């Protein structure tokens, strides 16, 4: 929503919005001329309507409940209301665009594409689901011909988009609150693909290989039979060196400063998209060497008492497993992008949604059992009603059953979680906080812990 608001403001529209939590994103929107209200009430609608004879268009996301007072007031006075995907579709469909969809890696891949295009003087417009380091924002109004967008599949609304180039990173069942099974998700993504002028897809994903027809395929396993491939020649905790192929022929090598095989796949897709757009490989190789991950993707927050605290958005078993595997590579290779090389891995995980936790409980447990120490935060419901037997404690038991010798703890609050990190971790630990909820506040909570001698006192309520 904030990316769209910023782009519309930069295009000359009068934009208003509300958010009860203030942050740097809102400060940036204010600088772009967006009027930001700090409360959500019916009076906001009246304030926006005052002083103008033009009826505002109300844009909502799927996160806005029917009981929202601003939405109710907009309905009462008869204002036009549309979904954020309708506005994004209008942006995507109005100019040549690249739309990135798939179960995992959308934010990173779309961020890398936009960054590479900007670094090679193509000045794209970008609408991304995370903060792009090169832009300092999740949205950017460019003057070039291309628009790069993240196409979120969570509510099925991406079928409205008509991209010049659609990209599918991978397909795996998720968002079980919306999709009853994998077939339903495949069907939605097939509709997205059919509306794209051309499709670039991941040959290494079995579901994509068997259910989709793409004009271009990429692979990180073999250059044979695909349009683009990047084959790793060296995998380290601070990055990957790889050879890049087009139509089976090696065109050169590159150094990716983002570790992990999942990041190599994301970068391969980004480089392939840029090559399809005509960007020279020599330019790309230079630009790739300076890439950084988007916000909340292995985001180093700081050194707390000798512990390296990292925040990551991983909230699906495959994402958790990939993030932990990348962290383990840092430990085993002795190389990492962090200020010091970590010695031990502490996984701090916040389950997100009852439906997702119930569906993937065993998968989460299997992924988390890789860590030396596991701390489970209170489940983040995201508005869902509780499901009997589904809880952070149930997940902790599943982890303990798989790794009986490991230390696994459950917190009843985020403040207790911070104290557990302080008590159970040691200097040299990599404390990796994962989840799509509010576990990203761990760094701030650690720094609020009162210290007396070597003891961490309870926080005031």
Q: pLDDT tens digit string along 101-113? A: 999 999 999 999 9
Q: What pLDDT does 62 receive? A: 87
Task: Please report the pLDDT score of residue 458 as a whole number.
Answer: 46
Average pLDDT over residues 91-120: 97
Residue 238 · residue 218 · CB < 8 Å: no
pLDDT value, residue 455: 52
230 within 8 A of 220, measured Cβ to Cβ: yes
Strand spans (E) along 203-319: 216-219, 228-236, 239-246, 249-256, 299-304, 307-312
First and final CA of the chain: distance in angstroms?
A: 33
Q: Which two tokens stand for residue 119?
A: 């670094």
Distance CA 328, CA 345 (A): 7
Question: Beta-strand (E) ranges in 237-290?
Answer: 239-246, 249-256
Distance CA 310, CA 414 (A): 16
Longest dimension (CA), the chain: 68
- Give burial (CB, 10 Å; 0-12/13-18/19+) of 177: middle
pTM of this prediction?
Answer: 0.92
Tens digits of per-residue pLDDT, 166-222?
A: 999 999 999 988 999 999 999 999 999 999 999 999 999 999 999 999 999 999 999
Strands 198-202 and 216-219: parallel
Answer whether 323's CB lies under 8 Å from 352's CB: no
Please give the distance of CA 325 from its chain centroid, rounded to a whole number.
Answer: 18
Handedness of CA 229, 151, 137, 121 (dihedral sign): positive
pLDDT digits (tens, 9 = 90+) for 15-71: 999 998 888 899 999 999 999 999 999 999 999 999 788 999 999 998 899 999 999
pLDDT digits (tens, 9 = 90+) for 145-157: 999 999 999 999 9
pLDDT score for 434 = 98
In total, the chain counts a number of residues equal to 461
Span 408-413, mean pLDDT?
Answer: 97
Domains along the chain?
Answer: 2-79 (3.40.50.720), 86-288 (3.40.1190.10), 299-456 (3.90.190.20)
pLDDT of residue 120: 98
Higher pLDDT among residues 451 and 348, named by residue: 348
How far CA 67 is from CA of 63, 85, 288, 441, in Å, comes to 11, 20, 46, 27
Answer yes or no: is pLDDT of 3 > 70: yes
The residues, any chain, with a CB within 8 Å of residue 124's CB and separated by 6 or more, are 113, 114, 117, 118, 140, 142, 144, 146, 147, 148
What's the chain's average pLDDT? 95
Round to whole Å and give the CA distance between 410 and 449. 19
* C-beta separation of 375 from 424 below 8 A: yes
Q: Is the pLDDT of residue 461 over 50?
A: no
SS3 108: helix
Single out the residue of 13, 15, 63, 21 nearest to residue 40, CA to CA.
Answer: 21
Yes or no: say if 324 and 312 are a contact pair by the CB < 8 Å rule: no
Q: What is the pLDDT of residues 389-403, one digit of tens each?
A: 999 999 999 999 999
């Amino acid at each position: 929503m904030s990316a769209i608001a910023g782009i519309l403001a930069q295009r000359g529209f009068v934009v208003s919005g509300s958010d009860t939590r203030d942050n740097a994103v809102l400060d940036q929107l204010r600088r772009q001329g967006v009027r930001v209200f700090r409360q959500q009430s019916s009076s906001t609608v009246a304030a926006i309507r005052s002083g103008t004879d033009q009826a505002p268009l109300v844009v909502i996301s799927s996160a806005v409940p029917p009981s929202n007072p601003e939405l109710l007031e907009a309905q009462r006075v008869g204002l036009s209301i549309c979904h954020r995907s309708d506005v994004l579709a209008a942006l995507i469909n109005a100019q040549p665009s690249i739309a990135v969809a798939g179960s995992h890696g959308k934010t990173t891949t779309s961020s890398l594409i936009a960054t590479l295009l900007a670094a090679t003087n193509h000045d794209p417009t970008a609408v991304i689901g995370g903060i792009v380091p090169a832009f300092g924002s999740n949205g950017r109004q460019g003057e070039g011909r291309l628009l790069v967008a993240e196409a979120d599949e969570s509510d099925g609304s991406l079928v409205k988009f008509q991209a010049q180039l659609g990209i599918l990173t991978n397909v795996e069942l998720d968002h079980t609150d919306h999709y009853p099974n994998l077939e339903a998700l495949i069907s939605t993504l097939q509709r997205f693909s059919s509306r794209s002028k051309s499709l670039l897809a991941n040959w290494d994903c079995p579901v994509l290989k068997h259910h989709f027809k793409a004009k271009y395929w990429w692979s990180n396993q073999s250059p044979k039979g695909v349009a683009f491939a990047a084959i790793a020649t060296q995998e380290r905790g601070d990055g990957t060196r790889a050879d890049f192929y087009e139509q089976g022929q090696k065109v050169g090598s590159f150094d990716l400063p983002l570790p992990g095989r999942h990041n190599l796949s994301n970068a391969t897709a980004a480089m392939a998209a840029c090559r399809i757009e005509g960007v020279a490989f020599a330019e790309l190789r230079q630009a790739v060497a300076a890439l950084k991950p988007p916000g909340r993707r292995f985001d180093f927050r700081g050194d707390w008492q000798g512990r390296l605290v990292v925040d990551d958005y991983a909230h699906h078993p495959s994402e958790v497993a990939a993030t932990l595997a990348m962290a383990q590579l840092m430990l085993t290779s002795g190389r990492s992008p962090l200020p010091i090389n970590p010695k031990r891995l502490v996984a701090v995980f916040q389950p997100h949604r009852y439906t997702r936790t119930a569906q993937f409980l065993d998968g989460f447990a299997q992924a988390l059992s890789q860590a030396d120490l596991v701390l489970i935060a209170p489940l983040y419901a995201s508005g869902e009603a509780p499901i009997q037997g589904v809880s952070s404690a149930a997940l902790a038991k599943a982890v303990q059953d798989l790794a009986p010798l490991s230390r696994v703890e459950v917190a009843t609050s985020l403040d207790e979680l911070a104290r557990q990190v302080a008590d159970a971790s040691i200097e040299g630990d990599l404390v990796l906080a994962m989840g799509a909820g509010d576990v990203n506040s761990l760094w701030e909570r650690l720094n609020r812990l009162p210290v007396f001698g070597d003891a961490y006192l309870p926080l005031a309520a």
